[in-house]
Amino acid sequence: MMNENTVIQAAPVIPNDSAQQPLPVGTRIEGFEIQDVIGVGGFGIVYKALDPMLERQVALKEYLPALLAQRIPGGAVKVREARHKSTFDAGMRSFINEARLLAQFDHAALVKVYRFWEMAGTAYMVMPLYQGMNLKQYAENHAAPLAQEQLVNWLLVLTEALEVMHSQQCYHRDISPENIIIQDNNDLPILLDFGAARRAIGSVSQPFTVILKASYAPIEQYAEVPSMTQGAWTDVYALAAVAHFLMTGKTPPSSVGRLVNDSYLPLHERPELPYSPHLKWAIDRALAVQPQDRTASMSLFRQNLQTETQDILSLFDSATHTEAVDTNTTRTQAEARPKRFYPTKPMNLWGSVIASVIAVTAVVMAFIFVSNVPPMEENADTTKTVVVQATVPSSNTIQIGPALTNNLDPSFQAVIDKADTSLTIQMEQTTLKIGQDLLRFQLESPVSGFVAVYVRASDNSLIQLLPNVRVPALAIEANKPMRLPPANEPIQAAGPAGENQFLVVVTEQPRNYGHLNFQDHYGFGLIPAGPAHSGAPIQALEGISPCANTSCNDRLAAAWFSVDEVD
């Protein structure tokens, strides 16, 4: 059996002397005060530091490759021998390029770089200080197998983060459980320890050590030949190996060993594992030894992770490749990659954005949420009906009914006037503090049927959230409460301050909404401005019933509620 860390080439022994010591506690670098050492690696040191200007703790990373350079009196870094300088400089350029790339990325699962600079013969970067445990520690502290829902949620977040990187032709190349931290405050993963500097040094000077984690590195990382180039598929293999470790408690066999004698037992042939066949197949495909046989991209890996049976979680995906909204057709644009947002990274997309309760693309509301279902790819099945599971009503709720009036939007009022008013909504809070409070509401309908949801923003924009290109039908059962969003899908108020009005409609039959002339807004239906601004209601938000021309039953129920966001 190969060791976890496999040395590809022999390395000279570096003396363990004082020249290799981290900077002492209390040292100030560009205003940052070092408080502790977080970790020491072969290519650098990470410190916990204080930013006195903003009164926050940060992580300060110093480029210091132990094989090439040493600390000298005064704290500066000096190359050990003149023959190493070109290699040292190449690594430092890669370190700086890594910092520059990370500073440009905008994803909650990627490390954010605040600053980076060169001084004292080396380079530094400043990042947030993330609190949590890495996945290896997490597995050691949890004896039971990781729940599928949690595993898939983490994988979907990480595939999106890596796809952001890959879009800039940047590949991690060192994904492992040790390099993924689960944050204490929100249970979201953060990807750490990018391998750009390591690879640059290895490619410039072959006599130096190249260290790979044998259980997570695909075969193409062992030798760069034209037939085995590295790319997105390289990170796909490593991430799938992490998933294998979390599912089984063991790493997959080394990719090198598998070339000679493949002892890998496919997950889909292991019925004792408490995971769905679909998930097992997704991991197996991503762990193919030969790159040409492997899942080629993070987008495809995310698609493969999607379960066959959709549920309420399908409503909370904020990434999509949708190009246009049409009631009869759905078009996709493979290169479009709208951002996905999380509770830790509030962001507005346009004007007075509004809270996205039923989202399948980028957030269009003054709330943000965690998503754990992948976007629907081209040729995907768009005929499924999403069934929401019933939940028990909370005892600490505020009853909201259709009779509540507060300068209700006239388009909403027109629907309320013709609807069954026994549809009810319960809320835990109607005033939410921006950046702190979560939106929670519960719907109970007097009829079984299909749900439509609209929102009128404080800037008077009107959007149909449901149905949409990803969820053409959302089913609800009569007198069975439906809670939105699920407990593991928090939606946090993100501003700006103001009122957002929501209209919820239930009809027995699925309705046609072509007359509303939707404009695409990240996969949602933006209703063009015009009549609404003149005070006249937009007609038939409840949709055109198929019973208009045939004999059938199609009852209508509706209710509305508003949410005030405050600073």
Higher-pLDDT residue of 398, 178 = 178
Better-scored residue on pLDDT, 83 or 322: 83
If 0-12 CB within 10 Å is exposed, 13-18 middle and 19+ buried, where does residue 405 land? exposed
Q: Letter for the amino acid at 131?
A: Q
pLDDT tens digit sequence for 519-549: 876 567 889 875 444 456 788 899 998 887 7
| Per-residue tokens: 219 | 């075969």
Average pLDDT over residues 474-503: 73
Place of tokens 């509004």: 354
Domains, the chain: 7-128 (3.30.200.20), 134-305 (1.10.510.10), 312-566 (2.60.40.2550)
> Distance (Å, rounded) from C-alpha 297 to C-alpha 294?
9
Q: Where are the alpha helices (DSSP H) in 167-276?
A: 196-204, 232-248, 255-260
Q: Which residues contact 478 (CB under 8 A, 6 or more apart)?
A: 445, 446, 447, 448
Q: Are 248 and 127 spatial neighbours (Cβ–Cβ below 8 Å)?
A: no
Which one is predicted more confidently, 383 or 170? 170
Token digits of residue 351: 């004007």
Size of the chain, expressed as the number of residues it contains: 567
Amino acid making up residue 501: Q
Collapsing DSSP to helix, strand or coil, 235 comes out as helix
On the CB side of 289, CA atoms within 13 Å amount to 17
Burial 409-428 (b: 16+ CB within 10 A, else e): bebbebbbeebeeebbbbbe
Where does residue 1 rank: exposed (0-12), middle (13-18), buried (19+ CB within 10 A)?
A: exposed
Phi first, then psi: what are they for 293, rounded to 5°? Answer: -95, -5
pTM of the model: 0.51
User: Alpha-carbon distance 40 to 93, whole Å?
Assistant: 20
Average pLDDT score over residue span 161-167: 89
Res 95: pLDDT: 87
* pLDDT value of residue 61: 93
Residue 355: pLDDT band (50, 70, 90) is very low
The predicted pLDDT at position 101 comes to 79
Encode pLDDT of 244-268 as tens digits. 999 999 999 999 889 888 999 999 9
Residue 562's contacts (CB-CB under 8 Å, 6 or more residues apart) are 406, 430, 499, 500, 501, 502
Q: Is the pLDDT of residue 148 over 90?
A: yes
Tens of pLDDT, residues 105-146: 888 899 889 999 999 999 999 999 988 999 999 988 887 788
Residue 231 burial (CB < 10 Å; 0-12/13-18/19+)?
Answer: middle
Number of neighbours of residue 166 by Cβ within 10 angstroms: 21
Q: Which candidate, 63, 49, 36, places its Cα nearest to that of 124?
A: 63
* Nearest-angstrom CA–CA distance, 205 and 9: 11
- What is the mean pLDDT of the segment spanning 66-88? 92
CA-closest candidate to residue 222, choices 245, 251, 254: 254
Residue 280's pLDDT is 95
User: Quick one: average pLDDT of 467-481?
Assistant: 78
pLDDT at 205 over 90: no
Hey, how many other C-beta atoms are within 10 angstroms of the C-beta on 35? 17
For 349, the 3-state DSSP assignment is coil
The tokens 């008013």 sit on which residue? 421
The whole-number pLDDT of residue 491 equals: 58
Cis peptide, bond prior to residue 467, ω within 30 of zero: yes
Q: How far apart are CA 325 and CA 519, in angstroms?
A: 7
**pLDDT of 91 above 50:** yes
Model pLDDT, residue 238: 95
Q: Each residue of 390-411: pLDDT tens digit?
A: 333 344 455 554 444 458 889 9
Element (DSSP H or E) covering residue 233: helix 232-248
